[in-house]
A = this chain, B = another copy of it.
Amino acid sequence: MLVVASESAIIATVNGVHDMGGMDGFGAVVPEKNEPVFHADWERRMYALATSVMGAAQVNIDEFRHAIERIPPARYLASSYYERWLAAAEMLLVERGVVTREELLAKQDASIDPAWIANAVANRGPAPIKEKSGSKPPRARFSKGDRVRARNLNPAGHTRLPRYVRGKAGVIARDWGVFVFPDTNAHHAGTKPQHCYSVSFDARELWGKSANASSRDRVLIDLWEDYLEPIAAKSTARSIKKRKK
C-alpha cells in the first residue's frame, strides 16, 4: 500500500496505536532462535535506503517517526517492522516531492494488487510555525529529586509523551541536558531545545496496586521539560479548591 497524505484530512496521531505502553492482548513475547539481522533481501535494502535517503530529503528523525505513526492503525498492526519503514519512506518522499506516486507505481511490478495502492488517511499534525530566533540557552527548571507530574497533554501531531505516564507523579532521577523537542521538530515548527530528564515512576503509581509488581519496581522514562509540571503547593491548593466547590 502506498500511503500518501490527502490534502484535506489533517489529523493528529497522538494517542495512536503506536503508543502501546501498557496495552494488552498482544500475547507472549516470542524470541526467535539464531535470528538473522534481516529476514529478506528487501528488508536489507529498505533499512539502508531509509537511513541514507532521509538526509537528502531533509527529513529529520522525529518526522520519520511521526510518518510511521501516521500509518492507519489497522495497517500499522498488520504490517511488519520494515513494511512500516517502507510506508513511511514512500509517504515522506512523495510529500516532499522527491518522487511522485506515478513514478513509484510505474516502477512497480504489474502483479501488485491495485487495491493496495490507495490513498490513506493523512495524519500530518499541525502546520509548521516559525522558530523564534535569538532565544537564550535554556535553564533547567527541575533538578534531581524534584517531584513532578507528567502533564495531561494531547497535542495534535507527534509527541514522545506516552499515554501511560500522563497525569502520573514521579521523581526527577537525572537531568540529561538539552535536547531538541520532538513535538515541534517533527513538524518543522522549531527545535525548541530544552532539558530532558530521566523521570522515575513507581510501578504502582502507573498501574495501580493490583499490578503484578513489587513495591520497589519502577519505570524510568526520558521526558522533556515541557511534558512536566512541578508537584508542590500548587497541586494541593487545587485539590483543596475543588473540594470547596
Interface residues of A (CB under 8 A from B): 9, 11-17, 22-28, 69-70, 72-74, 77-78, 121, 123, 147, 151-155, 163, 167-169, 206-208, 210-211, 231-232, 235-236, 239-240, 242-243
Contact = CB atoms under 8 A, between A and B. Distances in A.
A239 B231 contact: yes
Contacts of A78: 74, 77-78
Quickly give the copy total for this chain.
Answer: 2
B151 A208 contact: yes
A25 B124 CA distance: 10
Given A25-B70, A167-B167, A154 B9 contact: no
Contacts of A73: 17, 23, 25-26, 77
A196 to B, nearest CB: 21
A123 B25 CA distance: 7
Contact of A9 (B28, B74, B168, B242): B28
A124 to B, nearest CB: 12
Given A153-B210, A210-B154, A23 B28 contact: no
Main secondary structure on chain A at its contact with chain B? loop
Nearest to A122: B27
A243 B27 contact: no
A236 B243 contact: yes
A24 B12 contact: yes
Given A153-B210, A243-B232, A11 B28 contact: yes
Given A17-B23, A25-B70, 14 more contacts: A11-B27, A11-B28, A12-B25, A17-B17, A25-B73, A25-B121, A26-B121, A27-B121, A73-B77, A74-B77, A74-B78, A78-B78, A236-B236, A236-B243
Contacts of A167: 167-168
B15 A208 contact: no
B13 A242 contact: no
6 contacts: A11-B25, A25-B69, A25-B72, A27-B72, A151-B208, A236-B239
